[in-house]
């Protein structure tokens, strides 16, 4: 039910629909517009209170804070960029930590929770959320989750000696002053239909882009990067003239055994019948790239974003890939966290994770601007 609703909303929110909306979709769209106007007004007023100084942003002494975020809902590659930046900074011997809200976690208190001290996850996805666990597994970095990002960043500095804190999905958390605000934009559909939630993809009105320091247009699953249209550059410069504008490629890099460390090249996908499993805000690019790599996608079982997989889901997945004769199950690093926790691993079954990352040029450019 949730996945079907998300699919309907993706069509309504899209700025590039291949087919016109159905009558029921149009009706839902018009019903959501008044709510979107109210939501946009509230989020605009909140940011203006900070911008005008009525509410103060708190700054942490001797700590560089870098926010990775976006202005739309849906995946633009925030967590892969956090992983890439953290890894690059560590290679340059810069003490770094990652702070996240831990979306999707349940049963956690309001205070900071240490997800990793640099040696891997210390808690499960139920307490930390899937993306912080994914980050903790991918790179040996301190990871802390908290609704209060200021307290988490202070902990990272005071207890772990961090000199740089990366805020995962931090653009809307404006209470903590930051030194750099990096905003990711989906190159294929940067702003959707232009409306704020729930009638569109925007988490805030476009005026929020006045606080951005760098705009990164993200091209997913391709080797080809198109020039950024002048009209888009002009729009962004109208909001923040001094902000840098660049582009980057986010694509699959390797296959890894779910819950393990065995690796396979992406060429292994070619001409093999595959069963895809994902719980993403927009699963389309994931499926498209698997097909571009030559995989024969015989089925794609889609769940809602940040889905918490149950034993019943695992049985459905097992029955599904076996009944259609798929050679392997392919999923994402974000989904792996909860799939393995629910009992689906690659040790006894052919479950592989398509790991994605940004191209080295993008990471070098961003790290060079920070250090």
Residues 240 and 323 both lie in one domain = no
**For residue 223, is it within any domain?**
yes
**H or E segment and range at residue 340:** helix 333-342
**DSSP sequence for 15-30:** SS-SSPPPHHHHHHHH
**Cα(84)–Cα(87) distance, integer angstroms:** 5
Joined together, the tokens standing for residue 276 give 């895809």
**For residue 27, is it within any domain?**
no
pLDDT value, residue 107: 62
pLDDT value, residue 120: 93
Residues 222 and 238 both lie in one domain = yes
Residues 204 and 258 both lie in one domain = no
Handedness of CA 204, 85, 289, 223 (dihedral sign): positive
pLDDT in tens, 108-154: 667 899 999 999 999 998 899 889 999 999 999 999 999 999 999 99
Structural domains counted in the chain: 2
Residue 369, pLDDT above cutoff 80: no
**Cα(81)–Cα(358) distance, integer angstroms:** 7
Joined together, the tokens standing for residue 94 give 């810069």
pLDDT in tens, 181-192: 999 999 989 999
Residues 159 and 293 both lie in one domain = no
Band of residue 71 on the pLDDT scale cut at 50, 70, 90: very high
Band of residue 351 on the pLDDT scale cut at 50, 70, 90: very high
Average pLDDT over residues 355-360: 92
Residues 224 and 145 both lie in one domain = yes
Residue 14, pLDDT above cutoff 90: no
Residue 152: phi and psi, rounded to 5, are -65, -40
pLDDT value, residue 37: 97
Secondary structure of residue 42 in the 3-state scheme? helix
pLDDT value, residue 371: 67
pLDDT value, residue 38: 98
Residue 113 lies in domain: 64-251+359-370
Residue 61, pLDDT above cutoff 90: yes
Burial 68-77 (b: 16+ CB within 10 A, else e): bbbbbbbbbb
Residue 353, pLDDT above cutoff 70: yes
Residues 215 and 260 both lie in one domain = no
Residue 88, pLDDT above cutoff 90: yes
pLDDT in tens, 247-286: 999 999 999 999 887 899 999 999 999 999 999 888 888 9
Residue 239, pLDDT above cutoff 70: yes
Joined together, the tokens standing for residue 93 give 């011997």
Average pLDDT over residues 309-318: 94
Residues 309/338, Cβ–Cβ less than 8 Å: yes
Residues 232 and 114 both lie in one domain = yes
Residues 256 and 246 both lie in one domain = no
Band of residue 222 on the pLDDT scale cut at 50, 70, 90: confident
pLDDT value, residue 2: 65
Average pLDDT over residues 62-66: 96
Residues 221 and 283 both lie in one domain = no
Residues 97 and 235 both lie in one domain = yes
Residues 336 and 352 both lie in one domain = yes
Band of residue 31 on the pLDDT scale cut at 50, 70, 90: very high
pLDDT > 70 fraction of the chain, expressed in percent and rounded: 97
Burial 50-62 (b: 16+ CB within 10 A, else e): eeeeeeeeeebee
Q: How many CB atoms lie within 10 A of CB 99?
A: 33
Average pLDDT over residues 40-57: 95
Q: Would you give the end-to-end CA distance of the chain in angstroms? A: 46
Q: CATH number of the domain at 98, please.
A: 3.40.50.300
pLDDT value, residue 271: 95
Longest dimension (CA), the chain: 62
**H or E segment and range at residue 357:** strand 351-358
Average pLDDT, the chain: 92
Residue 1, pLDDT above cutoff 70: no
């Amino acid at each position: 039910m949730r996945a079907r609703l998300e699919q309907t909303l993706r069509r309504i929110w899209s700025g590039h629909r291949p087919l016109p909306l159905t009558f029921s979709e149009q009706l839902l769209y018009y019903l959501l517009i008044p709510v979107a106007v109210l939501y946009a007004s509230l989020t605009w007023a909140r940011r203006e209170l900070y911008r005008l100084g009525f509410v103060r942003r708190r700054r942490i002494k001797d700590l560089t804070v870098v926010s990775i975020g976006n202005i739309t809902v849906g995946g633009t590659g925030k967590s892969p960029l956090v992983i890439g930046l953290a890894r690059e900074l560590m290679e340059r011997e810069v003490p770094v930590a990652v702070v996240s809200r831990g979306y999707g976690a349940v049963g956690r208190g309001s205070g900071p929770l240490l997800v990793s001290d640099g040696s891997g996850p210390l808690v499960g996805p139920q307490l930390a959320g899937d993306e912080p666990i994914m980050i903790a597994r991918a790179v040996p970095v301190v990871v802390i989750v908290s609704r209060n990002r200021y307290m988490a960043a202070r902990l990272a500095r005071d207890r772990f000696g961090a000199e740089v804190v990366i805020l995962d999905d931090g653009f809307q958390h404006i209470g903590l002053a930051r030194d750099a605000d990096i905003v990711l934009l989906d190159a294929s559909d940067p702003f959707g239909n232009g409306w704020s939630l729930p009638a569109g993809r925007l988490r805030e009105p476009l005026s929020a882009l006045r606080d951005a320091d760098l705009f990164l247009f993200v091209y997913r699953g391709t080797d080809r990067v198109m020039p950024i249209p002048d009209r888009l550059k002009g729009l962004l410069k109208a909001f923040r003239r001094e902000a840098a504008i660049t582009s980057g490629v986010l694509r699959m890099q390797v296959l890894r055994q779910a819950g393990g460390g065995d690796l396979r090249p992406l060429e292994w996908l070619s001409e093999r019948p595959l069963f895809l499993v994902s719980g993403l805000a927009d699963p389309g690019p994931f499926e498209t790239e698997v097909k571009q790599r030559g995989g024969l996608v015989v089925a794609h079982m889609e769940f809602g974003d940040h889905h918490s997989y149950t034993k019943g889901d695992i049985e459905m997945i097992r029955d599904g890939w076996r009944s259609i004769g798929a050679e392997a199950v392919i999923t994402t690093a974000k989904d792996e966290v909860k799939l393995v926790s629910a009992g689906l691993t690659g040790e006894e079954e052919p479950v592989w994770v398509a790991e994605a990352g940004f191209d080295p040029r993008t990471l070098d450019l961003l790290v060079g601007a920070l250090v």
